């Protein structure tokens, strides 16, 4: 505390001895000049620009929203200057500092240590993060996963998992890496995949929440800020290796380190830097700038030696080459080991020779693996050919069913009038035989009419019977498996029509005693109708859903739902009748045939209702023995 008071006192003394702002009055009004002689002209309003680079860890827009008020505060507090916020990524800020394009910088503790080591500069003040405790000027990082991940409860569970952070040089990842190494975990070796996605850090939390990645790492306070903004719920996440830090307002998986410093860069004017430091230290915690920036003012520069210790342990930042030795220093310090080095060189040569033999052996193994891969590809082509043959068989079944339905329709339509003709002809015959009407000639004609009518009826009945395919057998089948096989057959149709197919299949259903080929044909017909129905829809909205469930204790329920225009009420009642179709080129037999197949299996087919636009065609089938999915 005494050290901080001395620094504040020194800054106030330096400020007091600076030249006062000169104000002269003339005919045009006052002209103000700051300590460096830069005028603030009331007529032109010209102010010397001062650029403040800010690390945009939550994105450029968020950075401008949070820090523009701080720049405005400095502009009002220090005459003659206009302070501007420049949102930057880690790499962009390093380039800007290197090229001397910034006057001040505001970044995390680790980045500050690296910038100061490479390009010079010093911290003026340290930010107090917004919080109700005495620990608000500290920060750390948090390692987290989804709360419902039962397979990840501690850091060691991350082995073989996917992990996401900002960047290798990001301070939040460096602190997390140190914490993992304490637990015997090397993030560069033990993860299945290590991804760095840059800013904003919000994307990492969203990726974990949506299951895109197994676990992630961001700086402390981001999860709480996103929860306050309504973007996430903290209860949806599990914090790994959480540390209990007394007085620290945020969840953390690591030690905490000094918060962001406000940095004076190497070429920045010292007098201006002193005025900026005084203005920031004078900022009230409840000022507009502090509220917009979501912090609680500024304090004297903290001790950043813990950050140096972290980098020294990781051998990163200024200590990246700490353990490296040159060849000259090696021989100078370890002359007595020269003989051992020669022996090691010999061993290395032998190792290289052995490695070459291993490489030759592995090359042979690779050649054999390539041959096996060729065989596998040939087998895959054979399976694809079988699938095409099966689809051809299904098409043949569809044609046979269509012809049978056509024959049934003709028989149904013509049997009644033909039977009527036959009855009238027989009546005439009976009358003539009774002697009440015409003679032999009319009798012979009517006899022929009767014979031809009977013959037409027999021909139509024979056509209907010949079109029936009774070769199919019914077996106990898994309806979910049939749906999966059917969806494979429609892969190219779905791709060409830019349609998504989603399967919501119950894992615990009874078997059904069915003809798999006929049921698969019904499914193909309904899904193809759905593809045609949503052809006019926007590609992003083309979705077909197939669901299976138990319809009571003795039935299986299957529904095919699309997002098309739906079926008009005037057509619904007769849609399953022969020769009724909503398609201009359709024959109106597909649904009639499908309905007949389902009825022949002891089930029913109907048009269901949907909560939105589109149609839902459903049918049920009698269930058999139960099985576990």
Q: Look up residue 183 and give its DSSP letter.
A: T
Cβ atoms 128, 290 nearer than 8 A: no
**pLDDT score for 433:** 73
What is the reported pLDDT for 334?
64
pLDDT tens-digit map of 389-422? 877 777 777 667 666 655 555 554 455 456 556 6
Distance CA 70, CA 280 (A): 9
Query: Is the confidence at residue 588, as pLDDT, over 80?
Result: no
DSSP assignment of 578-597, as one string?
Answer: TT--SSTT--S-HHHHHHHH
Give CA–CA dist 571/126, Å, rounded.
Answer: 74
The 10s digit of each residue's pLDDT in 265-290 is: 989 999 999 999 999 999 998 999 99
Q: Of residues 488 and 350, which shows the higher confidence score? A: 350
pLDDT score recorded for residue 389 = 82
- Whole-model pTM: value is 0.44
- Distance, in Å, from the CA atom of 180 to the CA atom of 155, rounded to the nearest integer, reads 7
Per-residue pLDDT, 14 = 39
Q: Nearest-CA neighbor of 547 among 487, 592, 506?
A: 506
Report the distance separating Cα 296 and Cα 287, nearest Å.
9
For residue 103, what are its two tokens? 């006057």
> Measured between alpha carbons, how far is residue 214 from residues 147, 195, 239, 364, 378 in Å?
11, 11, 13, 37, 36
pLDDT above 50 (res 487): yes
Q: Name the least confident of 192-196, 205-209, 378-382.
A: 378-382
Nearest partner of 390 among 546, 520, 525, 527, judged by Cα: 520
Within 41-151, residue ranges assigned H as helices are: 60-77, 90-98, 109-119
Pairwise CA distance, residues 175 & 219, whole Å: 9
Q: Which CATH class is domain 2-134+260-310?
A: alpha beta
Q: Does pLDDT of 20 surpass 60? A: no
**Under CATH, which architecture does the 475-626 domain have?**
2-Layer Sandwich (3.30)
Tokens of 360: 């030759």
- pLDDT tens digit sequence for 296-324: 889 998 888 999 998 898 888 888 766 55
Which H/E stretch holds residue 132? none
Q: Which one-letter DSSP state was computed for residue 539? A: G
pLDDT score of 238: 96
Q: Sheet of 215-219: strands edge to edge?
A: 193-196, 162-165, 215-219, 141-146, 237-240
pLDDT band at 589 (very low <50, low <70, confident <90, very high): low
Nearest Cα residue to 455 out of 463, 444, 443, 467 = 463
Instruction: Give me the mean pLDDT over the 360-370 stretch.
Output: 89
d(CA 178, CA 157): 17
Q: Dihedral of CA 409/411/414/415: which sign? A: negative
For residues 86-92, give the mean pLDDT: 93
Taking residues 50-63, what's their average pLDDT?
Answer: 92
Cα(152)–Cα(301) distance, integer angstroms: 39
* DSSP H helix total and E strand total for the chain: 19, 23
Q: Hey, CA dihedral for 323, 328, 333, 336, is it positive or negative? A: positive
In which residue are the tokens 């005693």 written?
Answer: 513
Asked whether the CA dihedral 436, 438, 439, 442 is positive or negative, the reply is negative
DSSP letters spanning 148-176:
T-TT-SSGGGGTTSEEEES-TT-HHHHHH
Check whether 23 has a pLDDT greater than 50: no
Quick one: CATH architecture of 141-255?
3-Layer(aba) Sandwich (3.40)
CA 222 – CA 59 distance, rounded (Å): 12
Per-residue b or e along 568-600, where b marks 16 or more CB atoms closer than 10 Å to that residue's CB:
eeeeeeebbebebbbeeeeebbbbbbbbbbbee
Report the C-alpha gap between 313 and 320 in whole angstroms: 10
Across residues 485-504, what is the average pLDDT?
Answer: 86
What six digits make up the tokens of 429?
A: 């015959």
Confidence band (pLDDT; 50, 70, 90) for 464? low
Question: Which of these ranges, 155-169, 204-218, 374-388, has the smallest mean pLDDT?
Answer: 374-388
């Amino acid at each position: 505390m005494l050290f901080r008071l001395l620094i504040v006192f020194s800054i106030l003394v330096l400020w007091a001895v600076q030249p006062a702002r000169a104000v002269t009055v003339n005919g045009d009004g006052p002209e103000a000049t700051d300590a460096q002689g830069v005028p603030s002209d009331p007529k032109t309003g010209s102010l010397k620009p001062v650029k403040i680079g800010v690390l945009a860890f939550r994105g450029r827009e968020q950075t401008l929203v949070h820090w523009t008020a701080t720049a405005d505060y400095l502009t009002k507090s220090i005459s003659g200057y206009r302070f501007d916020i420049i949102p930057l990524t880690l790499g962009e800020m390093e380039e800007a500092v290197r090229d001397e394009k910034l006057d001040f910088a505001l970044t995390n503790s680790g980045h500050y240590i690296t910038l100061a080591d490479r390009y010079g500069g010093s911290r003026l003040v340290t930010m107090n993060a917004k919080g109700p405790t005495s620990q608000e000027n500290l920060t750390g990082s948090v390692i987290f996963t989804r709360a419902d991940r039962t397979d990840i409860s501690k850091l060691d569970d991350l082995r073989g998992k996917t992990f996401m952070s900002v960047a290798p040089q990001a301070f939040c990842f460096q602190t997390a890496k140190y914490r993992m190494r304490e637990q015997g975990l090397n993030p560069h070796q033990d993860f299945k995949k290590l991804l760095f996605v840059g800013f904003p850090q919000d994307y990492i939390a969203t990726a974990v929440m949506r299951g895109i990645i197994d676990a992630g790492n961001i700086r402390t306070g981001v999860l709480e800020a996103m929860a306050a903004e309504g973007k996430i719920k903290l209860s949806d996440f599990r914090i790994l290796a959480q540390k209990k830090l007394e007085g620290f307002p945020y969840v953390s998986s690591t030690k905490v380190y000094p918060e962001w410093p406000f940095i004076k860069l190497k070429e920045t004017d010292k007098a201006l830097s002193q005025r900026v430091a005084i203005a920031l230290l004078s900022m009230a915690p409840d000022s507009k700038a502090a509220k917009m920036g979501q912090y609680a003012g500024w304090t004297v520069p903290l001790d950043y030696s813990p950050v140096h210790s972290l980098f020294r342990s990781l051998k990163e930042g200024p200590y990246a080459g700490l353990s490296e030795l040159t060849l000259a220093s090696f021989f100078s310090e370890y002359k007595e080991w020269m003989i051992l080095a020669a022996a090691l060189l010999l061993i290395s040569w032998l190792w290289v020779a052995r490695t070459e033999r291993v490489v030759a052996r592995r090359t042979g193994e690779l050649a054999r693996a390539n041959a096996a891969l060729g065989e596998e590809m040939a087998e895959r082509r054979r399976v694809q050919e079988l699938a095409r043959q099966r689809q051809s068989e299904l098409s043949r079944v569809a044609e046979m069913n269509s012809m049978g339905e056509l024959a049934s329709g003709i028989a149904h339509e013509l049997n009644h009038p033909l039977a009527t003709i036959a009855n009238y002809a027989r009546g005439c015959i009976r009358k003539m035989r009774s002697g009440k009407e015409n003679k032999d000639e009319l009798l012979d004609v009517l006899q022929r009419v009767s014979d031809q009518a009977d013959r037409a009826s027999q021909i139509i009945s024979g056509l209907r019977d010949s079109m029936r395919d009774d070769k199919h057998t019914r077996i106990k089948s898994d309806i979910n498996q049939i749906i999966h096989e059917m969806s494979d057959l429609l892969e190219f149709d779905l791709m060409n029509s830019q349609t998504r197919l989603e399967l919501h299949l119950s894992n615990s259903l009874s078997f059904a005693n069915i003809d798999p080929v006929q049921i698969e044909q019904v499914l193909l017909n309904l899904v193809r109708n759905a593809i045609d129905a949503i052809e006019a829809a926007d590609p992003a909205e083309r979705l077909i859903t197939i669901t299976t469930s138990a319809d009571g204790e003795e039935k299986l329920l299957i529904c095919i739902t699309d997002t098309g225009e739906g079926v008009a009420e005037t057509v619904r009642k007769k849609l399953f009748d022969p020769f009724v179709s909503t398609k201009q080129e359709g024959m109106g037999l597909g649904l009639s045939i499908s309905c007949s197949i389902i009825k022949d299996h002891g089930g029913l087919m109907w048009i269901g209702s949907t909560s939105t636009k589109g149609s839902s065609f459903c049918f049920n089938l009698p269930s058999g023995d139960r099985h576990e999915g």
